[in-house]
A = this chain, B = another copy of it.
């Protein structure tokens, strides 16, 4: 892919995240490249192509981040690693992550179907960590692992709204992990 084409994708990610897909016109994208809007069609076939590309980029980034989580070892450590990985992607590719979480729903047809499947698969990989943690005895035997995964995924998916680039996402993820593991109730009141 040419350098110019890459610039266009970056501008699309930024503008879709900032103003929304339907709130961004082809003219806006052209202006970001310092070009007339008709010229963009030397690079793309349609505006929808850009949404698809950014959404896919997000899916690839998040799945790749999960790939780096070890398959072996304590489930607790793998949960911590997964949260770290997710938050790192959000902070380092905030625009792409925003499109991945919020703007994907403007995809249409089979692209939308394919995206939803990828997204479901990602959440399933996340969920599995909590199930295994319970089954291996590292987490409470009576744990509702579905709810636990939902809580963790909520924090992960909501992060794009408040996470700013440059913060220490590892420390952040560890605080989340610690809270999820230990809870917030004091020993005195237990």
Contacts and interface: CB of A to CB of B under 8 A. Distances in A.
Nearest to A188: B137
Contacts of A76: 185, 189
Contact of A22 (B22, B161, B186, B189): B22
Contact of A179 (B105, B133, B148, B172): B148
A162 interface: yes
B187 A140 contact: yes
Contacts of A181: 183-185
Nearest to A123: B162
Interface of A: 20, 22-23, 76, 102, 105-106, 130, 133, 137-141, 143-144, 147-148, 150-151, 153-155, 157-159, 161-162, 172, 175-176, 179-189
A189 B76 CA distance: 10
Contacts of A187: 140
A112 to B, nearest CB: 13
B184 A139 contact: yes
Q: Which of A23, A159, A179 has the most CB of B within 10 A?
A: A179
Given A106-B23, A158-B154, A185 B147 contact: no
A155 B162 contact: no
Nearest to A133: B184
Contacts of A140: 182, 184-187
Given A154-B158, A189-B76, A184 B180 contact: yes
Contact of A162 (B138, B144, B150, B186): B150
A180 B102 CA distance: 26
A185 B138 contact: yes
